[in-house]
């Protein structure tokens, strides 16, 4: 149980394009999902909290117009990196909170974004 998938696993795009990343909870419903960014050999940096049916809550310093989050169902949240630039290249990981498991967070496998 408590499986979270994330797609795509890798994406390479040209500067200026937009990239959408999907995060799905496969065997549980998640009213709350989280999006993190992880630089090489660094910790997980929370970008935003994705709330089903309402607007996402962004951490300080994260541009909401740059990183669009949609949480339209209890099993799917999407992160769209708009007008991507090379500095947006990173490992993006989502997690989903399982309310029936005491609120534990389970992570997706991550998406490695490379912007050329």
For binding to other proteins (CB under 8 A), which residues are involved?
4, 32, 34, 42-44, 46, 49, 51, 57, 93, 97, 103-110
- CB closer to other proteins out of 8 and 109: 109
**Among 48, 54, 32, which residue's Cα sits nearest to residue 106?**
32
Rounded to whole angstroms, how far apart are CA atoms 111 and 51? 20
- Token pair listed for 67: 């990183």
- CB closer to other proteins out of 14 and 41: 41
- CB closer to other proteins out of 82 and 110: 110
**Among 82, 86, 89, 69, which residue's Cα sits nearest to residue 23?**
69
The least distance separating other proteins from the CB of residue 32, rounded to whole angstroms, comes to 6
The least distance separating other proteins from the CB of residue 64, rounded to whole angstroms, comes to 16
**Helices assigned H by DSSP within 1-116:** none
The least distance separating other proteins from the CB of residue 66, rounded to whole angstroms, comes to 20
The least distance separating other proteins from the CB of residue 59, rounded to whole angstroms, comes to 9
Rounded to whole angstroms, how far apart are CA atoms 11 and 108? 16
């Amino acid at each position: 149980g408590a499986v979270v998938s994330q797609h795509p696993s890798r994406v390479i795009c040209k500067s200026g394009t937009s990239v959408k990343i999907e995060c799905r909870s496969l065997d549980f419903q998640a009213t709350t999902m989280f999006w993190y960014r992880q630089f090489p050999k660094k910790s997980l940096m929370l970008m935003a909290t994705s709330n089903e049916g309402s607007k996402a809550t962004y951490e300080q310093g994260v541009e909401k117009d740059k990183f669009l989050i949609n949480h339209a169902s209890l099993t799917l949240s999407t992160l769209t990196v708009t007008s991507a630039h090379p500095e947006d290249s990173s490992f993006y990981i989502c997690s989903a909170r399982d309310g029936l498991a005491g609120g534990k967070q389970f992570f997706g496998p991550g998406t490695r974004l490379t912007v050329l």
